[in-house]
Structure 1
Amino acid sequence: MAGFLQQIGSELKEYHISHLILIAVFLGIAYPCLHALYNLYLHPLRHIPGPPLWIAFPTARTIGMVRGIAEFQVREAHEKYGEIVRISPNTISFINPQAWKDIYGHGHAEFPKYYPKGINMDPKKIISSNASDHFRFRRAMLSAFSDKALAQQEPLIKVYVDLLIERLREVSESGNSTDMVQWYNFTTFDLIADLAYGTPLQGLAEGKSNAWLDNISKLMRYMPILVLIGAAPVLGLILKLVAGSKVRNSQANHLALVTKLAHDRIHHRKQADRGDFMDYFMRSRGQPHELSDAELIANSDLLMVAGSETTATLLSGATYWLLKTPHALKKATEEVRNAFKSDEEITFHEVRTKLPYMAVCLEEALRLFPPVPMSLTRSVPKGSMQIVGLTIPEKTVVGVHHMSAYHSELNFHRAREYIPERWLPESVTNPASPFYNDRRDAHRPFSFGPRDCIGRNLAIHEMHLIMARVLWNFDLDLDDKSRDWHNQKIFGLWEKPPLEVVVRQRKI
């Protein structure tokens, strides 16, 4: 009898365990499905169209980020659904020009910046600081990007542009193609490192990559993985086991390098009053808006990436599209060579006043190949806000998607083509121009409002100077290996494979 009861008990126990497993499996399937149905049909944003899969299961878009295709998918969604697209349960993407003012502009409550789960942004950096710290940081840092500072920094920058030209002359003698992405990266990182730390990274001098460049490349690749870890804990756990140590090591190595360079510049100044970033930043010492050592380290690190990677990206994109557009290359090259009798005449001031066509070539490259192709997302503040005529509830994540806005026929005629002429004065003022109705105020590559790019002035001068010097000195041809260079992935920033260009010394 006891054995019989024990058997019954064992069977009941197995029965309960099997039922518990079935219930767990059911809930594991039912909950995401019910949540998906809520997102699609009951969510407060249900009236805004968008890709149903992304709205129902937001991890689907995150997987696209890991694959490097998410930004192109957002662009396709805008083509299908229009100016206002819901790209996750609680995220809306805009491409209407008015959205820049409504989200990022002055005259209304600040929309706090939003970062996905898994991305831990340093509040000591101006880009991710709170409102009060941002005001203080900007006040301390703005003078480093003034016209006065640029005039003082120009000789420092010229050293590296001269070295770039010297290196390209050496390359031209070989008759082989060379990777212009690499040369632009070396140039911008070297000169920004000198402006930030008084120390070049020796990329141009040695003609090879360095720890800083390698770490940035790795960290950008890992960013989408960190987002996926935050969005899908189970899948994220697997990825963390596979790549977690690599991410931590890259971050630790990068921080150690940044800290050493910044401390050397702050506490062991070899050159006083040289007009570089740190020189101007440290003038805030003793003032209410002063920056601590930790804040100086964090923001110098930020400026290294924001001030170099983006400029190198723009120069690479501009070079590629000029070489793909022979009439534009010919016109820009002739303009530069007719404007100056010697290389030494090419200065910040002269390139901005004498080269209007080259300027629109760069502007068009900023549109077609924006260095920041994604949205700089914000969270709607307490209450609700009007964005492009819609009432958007608080805590909704919103942003203008750069690439989608710039590549949309709603904003630009023949939007996927490289046409510098669209920016010329006659296209703006002549109603007969096919580009007259272009919504140029949709194009904000340096963002907009009180948190726009603090280094815009420097970046514009830098890209104009480098492009003018290259066009004045060399004849360029695109190697056939790079004919489809623009077809690349985006991992936070553009992937930027080698841009193979044949560089020939011009005949004078």
Structure 2
Amino acid sequence: MDGIKLAAAEVVVSANETATPFPHALPGHKQLMGIFAGAYVVYCIISAVYLVFFHPLSKFPGPKLWAVSRIPWAYYVIRGDLWAVLDELHHNYGGSVRIAPDEVTTIKPGAWKDIYVAKPVLAKDPYSLTPPLNGAHSLFTAEGDTHRRLRGALVNGFADKALRDQAPIVEGYADQLIARLRREAAKSKTAGGGGGGGHGQVIDIQRIFGYATFDTVTDLSFGESLLNTLERDTDNDEIRAFFLHAKFSTIRNCLSRFSPLDVLLGLFLLGATRATRERNWRLTTAKIERRLARGDLTGVRSDLLTPLVGKLDDGAALKGTISRKELTTNQLAFVIADCQLTTVALATATYLLLRDPPKWRLLADEVRARFERDDQITVQATTQTLPYLEAVINETMRFRHPTPISLPRCIPPGGRTVDGQHIPGNTIIGINLQNIQTTPTLWADPHEFHPERFLPASDPRYSRRFDGDVKEAFMPFSAGPRNCLGSKVYLAQARMFLAKVVWNFDLAMRDPQRDWLDQKAYLVFEPKPLFVELSEPEREMRV
């Protein structure tokens, strides 16, 4: 027995002697950190080599750092100048450029059909969509059957007949715009803001354009103007808040690719803006409910809600119906989009025309020759026999699209041919609305403002130098089943407001404001004050 104990003791001693060095053989905390850091570095190097040289998108040109990481792309998104950087990349690398490990941007005209029109319709990149705050999708975020149902329910409000019926609303606010400008001029004169030495009164016309578009689109969308800013001579920050919403959405969508930054930022920003968002939802819902309660107003007024009376369905998602939550989401989304786009486009057109006075004179001569009286300027009249006005609006959108964004779509796993080039599956691809409209390979003098390029070739103001312009590249409202549903409403406002201002006033810039186009862009270009001199035109007496 004692022998057994002794033997056991020897075994224990032997084991202890053998095991004693073991704790010292384990790496310490610093050593473990070094091992993990080294392993991570090796992993990053292997991943970078794969992404640059062996990934299915490695055949596409582009900066190597962008192919390895999303960080360069995100950096310029947050800076608000991604569109300008992409323009440089296309200039350096060609028509199709890799801008992320899984994304390609293209400016090939044939891509419009292959990406946005051809069936099956490609899904939107989910990271480009801001989640609906009330849980109900808008046309901007809905996919598949939901998108088709919503578009089917809303489309009649944007049809040609609907626009003709809605024209009195647009025309009414155009009259209010002119009246407000006259009152602003009077206030400017009283305050000593101008009028001496033959000069007109100095006004920030961008601000007044913003009020006009806001009043118009809220009346069309909610059944009445939200604030009646033009009529009340008030100033408000509602438009600036909408542009802030665009900036917030852009940054939020960008950082959604970098978890957990998206969660942290989302919680912070959602909390900071909760009170404003809740107020907007309450106001919007209340006004929509009040308009719907008035029922069919045929013969009284027509707006975007007119075709939806009696077609709301909060239960089964039936074809041609829309729920109350969906209606609120879509009407608010349209207000934000239309107000931003129209304000930016009108201010930009005015700036570009005044920067080149002969072009302002061409437009003024056309409008003033077409109409003898202010009340002759209508929505219908401005769609006819005003080719230079139409050319100015088109060239403004080409030269400086209000939304200089890409329209990213997801290539299915099997891949797809885009403009004759195979795009691997699971790739994100899109056309940047600004880049495709200002590339020298498609346009003559692309970075110059020349409305005459959009005139008919038979027009004496047209120049043959623009014969080579590839007009098929010009799709300012996108293409296919997800193109901009509100384009006709936007164009009606742009034509009416610009024609009214040009007919009623002579405008000029006393200060050249050469840096006015230096603007950041988050979904849309951020607005800047545009100070112009406003004076009464001299009119010839007509017999």
Residues 327-476 of structure 1 mapped to structure 2, 5 A cutoff: 327-426=358-457, 433-476=464-507
Equivalent-residue separation in structure 2 for 1:444 and 1:339 (angstroms): 29
The one of 26, 33, 45 equivalent to 1:21 is 33
Give the one of 206, 209, 212 matched to 1:187: 212
Deviations 1:340-397 (A, max 9, x none): 1100001112112121111101110010111221111111134221101111122211
2:231 is equivalent to residue 215 of structure 1: no
CA distance in 2, matches of 1:490, 1:431: 32
Q: Deviations over 1:229-259 (max 9, x none)?
A: 3233365567567655325555444434433
1:109 pairs with 2:120: yes
Q: CA, structure 1 residues 207+399, in 2 after alignment: closer, same or farther (shift >3 Å)?
A: farther
Q: CA deviation at 1:124?
A: 2.0
In the other structure, the counterpart of 2:11 is none
Q: How far off is 1:406 after superposition?
A: 0.5
Superposed displacement of residue 45, structure 1: 0.5
Looking at structure 1, the residues matched to 306 and 321 of structure 2 have their Cα atoms a distance apart, in angstroms, of 13
2:150 matched to which residue of 1? 137
Segment drifting more, 209-218 vs 17-26: 209-218
| Corresponding residue number in structure 2 for 1:197 | 222
Q: 1:160 to 1:329 in 2, by over 3 A?
A: same
Structure 1 residue aligned with 2:292: 266
8 Å contact from structure 1 (residues 372, 445) kept in 2: no
Cα pair distance change 1:64/1:155, threshold 3 Å? same
- Which residue does 1:120 correspond to in 2? 131
What is the identity percentage for the equivalent residue pairs of Structure 1 and Structure 2? 29
Question: In structure 1, what is the equivalent of residue 13 of structure 2?
Answer: none
Structure 1 residues 167 and 327, CA, compared in 2 at 3 Å: closer, same or farther? same
The residue type paired with residue 290 of structure 2 is D
Q: Which amino acid aligns with 2:304?
A: F
Name which of structure 1's ranges 74-83 and 346-355 shifts more when overlaid on structure 2.
Answer: 346-355
Residue 316 of structure 1 corresponds to 347
Q: 1:47 to 1:288 in 2, by over 3 A?
A: closer
Give the counterpart letter for 1:274 in structure 2.
R
Aligned residue for 1:70? Answer: 82
Distance 1:297 1:118 in 2: 18
Secondary structure of the residue that 1:503 maps to in structure 2? strand
Following TM superposition, by how much is the alpha carbon of 1:430 offset from its aligned partner in structure 2, in angstroms?
Answer: 12
- Specify the SS of the correspondent of 2:239: helix
Q: Could you tell me the TM-score, scaled by structure 2's length?
A: 0.85
Q: 2:516 aligns with which of 469, 478, 485?
A: 485
Is residue 226 of structure 1 aligned with residue 252 of structure 2?
yes
Alpha carbons of 1:382 and 1:266: their partners in 2 closer, same or farther (altered >3 Å)?
farther
Contact 2:206 2:347 in 1 (8 A): yes
Find out whether 1:54 has 2:79 as its counterpart.
no
Q: Secondary structure at the match of 1:398?
A: strand
Asked if the contact 1:282/1:291 (under 8 Å) is kept, the reply is no
Report if the CA contact (8 A) 1:282-1:290 is conserved.
no
* Structure 1 residues 81 and 253: alpha-carbon distance in aligned structure 2, compared to 1, 3 A threshold: farther
Distance 1:454 1:241 in 2: 32
1:93 aligns to what SS in structure 2?
Answer: strand
- Whole-angstrom distance in 1 between the partners of 2:81 and 2:123: 27
Q: Taking structure 1 as reference, are residues 202 and 481 closer, same or farther at Cα in structure 2, changes over 3 Å only?
A: farther
Q: 1:26 offset after TM fit, Å?
A: 3.0
Q: Deviations over 1:409-445 (max 9, x none)?
A: 0110000000011111128999981111110110100
Answer yes or no: is the 8 Å Cα contact 1:385–1:391 preserved in 2: yes
Q: In structure 1, how many angstroms separate the alpha carbons of the residues matched to 2:281 and 2:21?
A: 60
2:304 to 268, 277, 280: 277
Work out the CA distance in 2 between the residues paired with 1:27 and 1:120: 37
Aligned-residue offset at 1:401:
0.8
Cα 1:228–1:303 change in 2 (3 A) is: closer
> What is the Cα-based RMSD across aligned positions, in Å?
2.8
TM-score normalised per structure 1: 0.91
Conserved in 2, the CA contact under 8 Å of 1:172 and 1:505? no
Note closer, same or farther for the CA distance 1:323–1:430 as it changes in structure 2 (3 Å cut).
closer
Separation in structure 1 between the aligned mates of residue 487 and residue 180 of structure 2, nearest angstrom:
27
Alignment-mate amino acid for residue 154 of structure 2 = M
- Aligned pair in 2 of structure 1 residues 417, 134: CA closer, same or farther (>3 Å)? same
* Range moving further from structure 2, 383-392 or 208-217: 208-217
Please give the secondary structure, in 1, of the residue aligned with 2:404. Answer: coil
Aligned to 1:172, which of 150, 169, 185? Answer: 185
1:469, distance to aligned residue in structure 2 (A): 0.3
Give the alignment partner of residue 90 of structure 1, picking from 87, 92, 102: 102
Distance 1:139 1:245 in 2: 35
Letter in 2 for 1:296: L
Alpha carbons 2:76, 2:82 under 8 Å: kept: yes
What's the offset of the Cα at 1:118? 8.1
Larger CA deviation: 385-394 vs 469-478: 385-394
Tell me if structure 1 keeps the 8 A contact 2:129–2:141: no
Preserved contact between residue 124 and residue 295 of structure 1 (Cα < 8 Å): yes
Amino acid at match of 1:263: E
Cα shift at 1:55: 1.4
User: In the aligned structure 1, how far is the partner of 2:461 from the partner of 2:296?
Assistant: 55
CA distance in 1, matches of 2:401, 2:121: 25
More displaced, 75-84 or 127-136?
127-136
Shift in Å, 1:404: 0.6
Please say which structure displays the higher CA radius of gyration.
2
Change (3 A) 1:451 1:41: same
Shift of 1:487: 1.5
In 2, Cα distance between equivalents of 1:502 and 1:275:
36
Cross-structure match for 2:3:
none
Higher mean C-alpha deviation, range 307-316 or range 10-19: 10-19
Alignment of 1:225-264 (within 5 A): 225-233=251-259, 239=265, 243=269, 245-264=271-290
Which residue of the other structure, out of 325, 343, 351, is the alignment partner of 1:294? Answer: 325
